[in-house]
Structure 1
């Protein structure tokens, strides 16, 4: 039987525009890990294993980064799963603790990115997302601009054609997330934008404007996971957030065979991971209080509402119109500002989502605190593909750890 797993400490750097960053990646990781250790109130010597996520870097960059924290001889595994790299490192760390192999595992993620849109690094081999490129070309054609912007614009266009969603709905999501980020000191962009400013900002592709697309970013994040026995032995109950479920899924044939841009951007991966996570956690979507989801583009946030079961398919626009995606509504979605304004350093994103949700569940999120948050959901995707959905629960302080939440 799998053991319970808790997040006992989190930390991150401020996410920054690549050109403004003065630190190299080992310094970023050291800052994030030391913050997580301080948050957990444990020494680095307590860590028994580490998983380190990054997309752009040399093969043992995880070792180089953690050697700056300490050289204790522990196993260090490097993880690359496209934009879901951080949450994948978190998933693997959780499995190591849940399976009883280790009692205390570190999950860290970082990225030191270059300016501009993401482009293939290797020209002498097939692109890992070539199936996506081929289907997008078949459905809408491909222009010589950012492929990811084209792909997520196509998904938004399909949603508008099928369900009557308007460009305004996507713009409203961007307005919301930029409003949220003004209260997040870790966010790369802490500026509010009006609805008109979102729509009139630089066009990236068709109706997707700059303020509806996540920026390239540099930064690092870390989370420390521990077993129930470790939490009890170190008297860490007041810091511990239980991982009720964390599930990963990859593409099925439906992602390509149904000739749908919505499916192509990971709808089914997300839906499958979410369904299993709800089942493992023993909860329903409507019980969730706060959510950090993968809003790489404003279109994907709305589509993800439906994939996660927060509303019926085609009804994401109503969630937006009714304000049920922000403070005072049914859910608070991306209180950190999300990828759109917090930033998206690929290897750090999923772990930064975990950090934000732990702060929310510990009532430590300051001005962006979601009132009475007890259940939280994390969603992170990478094309090609991987989707990770995690559900976290705060521990009632008047019950024993062995009690059911």
Structure 2
């Protein structure tokens, strides 16, 4: 049975000590009936949500939720509290002036009134400032490292272009000589390698924020395979694809890059012949991509370092690709991990969220 506003007011008036406690708490406290009608709000609500207590009492708690959360999240929270299932977590909330903020919201049912009625206790804490402080603490340190890497790459690029140009001019203006030819190609190969390092460091440091669109998974895989078709044919490698139909909410260019990196790794592992399998399946509210090969596998001692920038077991490789792939997957709210066995092969798994919002925000619990 839900408590009425009159019963709650009577209880609070009879217990001045309880009312003084609620009013003195600096965290916003709201009491509602089981349907979400606000029965009481302490004065802290004005600082957090912009309402005076008198303005929100008698109104519905839905006032503080964003429009997109009214269809699922808000009714789900009421449904949970009616079943004595408390909730606490970060939620996007809305102030009286329509501005939004991240709040830490806690809701639970209380049924301790003398009248025997039940009501919901809601507490709201504005954590926008905490998030800003966290960003201020970590942001400059990480940002400084990224800026330094980006600036170093930029400062290297222009001299590289100049050196390459002068080397070509010197080579073209000199008499033909087998020894000079060897020196020239050695210099140019190393300059090209340095330029590749610069390009990948710049991309890693300046990785743009994903621009999400819904893309068919089979098309993303097909596009990622295209640059490797010639090498696949030359090495006589069999590629098997088995994908369940799905559309992923991703930045297509970035995720195609991730798939291409994993496919390239598999091709490098296979010296001649061999198999690459690309499978994809729905897993609850996620989609899992598995790319595996039957190559020699990765040494156990190297596994902890494969996502570390510049780590490579091959002297002619930069060692940035898997670091880039991991960073892209994290920016998409996904995961990447590897399983490997010597002489049997390597499997990379990539997990993508199909819905970027929590399930409580997108589907009604009550049936």
Which range, TM-score by smaller chain? under 0.3
TM score, norm. by length of structure 1: 0.23
Higher helix share: 2
Which structure has more RCO (C-alpha within 8 Å, separation ≥ 6)? 1
Higher-strand-fraction structure = 2
